[in-house]
Amino acid sequence: MSTELELKYGCNPNQKPSRIYINKGSLPIEVLNGKPGYINFLDAFNGWQLVKELKAATGMPSAASFKHVSPAGAAVGEPLSDVLHQIFFTTQKDLSPIACAYARARGADRMSSFGDWISLSDRCDITMARLIEKEVSDGIIAPDYDADALELLKAKRKGGYNIVRIDRDYIPEPLETKQVYGISFEQGRNELNIDSDMLSNIVTANKNLPESAVRDLIISLITLKYTQSNSVCYAYDGQAIGIGAGQQSRIHCTRLAGGKADNFFLRQHPKVLSLPFLDSIPRANRDNTIDVYISSDYEDVIGDNVWNNNFKTQPEPFNADEKKAFLSTMSGVSLGSDAFFPFSDNIDRAARSGVSYIAQPGGSIRDDLVIAACDKYNIAMAFTGVRLFHH
């Protein structure tokens, strides 16, 4: 392994020269195929840290789908239900745990995951490779690859698919640096260990945190640790289902992530599951059409080409009252926030998306109002005492 790797260019084609390098030892990665770029490696290294920590915290194979240095989804390898197989477009029923983790990570927000970078905690096997084969993706990082999986992936994108192997035993230096405007910044790496002990300070009247909620809150918090701040993450059934990244306002994070969580559930509505798609419709077109069907007033787009080109017959309208009624049945969702909630409006919005459990640092001068709002909705909330900003 070498100490540096020359890249085609930086964030943009005009930013040359570009490279990644290490000051001590050798780079802990090996490029097995393709030519990953600057942003690819930013996604790869952030994603690898996320899944490595998620595996350590849960003991389960973990995967992340990254776009523009924030996760579009992250998950552990819980088995998929028949409904999840349908909404994730997984035709294989014999998925390995690592493939289940990626199907969940990709399926959290399939539109945002279009052209993603994949990060895996475990070896990439053939069921995982077959899953990737059908998706639009820029590349993958994993600690190893089965020979048949590697052969299949090398044929993707006309032989140019980016495949990176990382040394799972690599430990970075305790200090990290970066430059902005020619000025160097240095800080200690965020080596905070996120586990169930962080959820022990439950400040609400409801103090019930079942094991499933503990798992989902840990998934949420570790995901936030590698999401551009401000950020909020909704998690359910072993996966992130809504991530709001890089917003200047906390309530905008909560709304953005809540809207994505709502879409995740609405994709499971019988009307959506039974949409009469043409057999020839590409996967990405199907995702886009479902998003329009869920998020728009159907009557506003009747006759639009989105329907004429994608459906065998015109589907029934999916009105706001039906959506609201369906979402009102959702509960058991976990919510993490990378910093405290300054106002109780965040709790009001979270409750609309079925949130039953919250983890946040606490420390706002309005903590009492936030706690009171949780008590109003019978939400159990833990104060972690730890901020998770990431920039």
> Could you tell me the two tokens for 14?
């005009």
> Could you tell me the two tokens for 276?
């009469």
Catalytic site residue from 24, 93, 158, 391: 391
Spatial separation of the C-alpha atoms in residues 242 and 257, rounded to whole Å: 4
H helices of the chain, in order, are: 38-58, 82-87, 97-107, 126-133, 147-154, 211-225, 250-266, 270-273, 283-295, 305-308, 320-327, 345-351, 367-376
> Could you tell me the two tokens for 40?
């690819």
Residue 269 designated active-site: no
Residue 85 designated active-site: no
Catalytic site residue from 33, 230, 263, 310: 230
Residue 391 designated active-site: yes
Omega before 208 cis (within 30°)?
Answer: no
Spatial separation of the C-alpha atoms in residues 42 and 68, rounded to whole Å: 8
Catalytic site residue from 40, 52, 55, 67: 67
The DSSP secondary structure of 4-19, one letter per residue, reads: EEEES-SSSTTS-SEE
Give catalytic residues, as residue numbers. Answer: 67-68, 230, 391
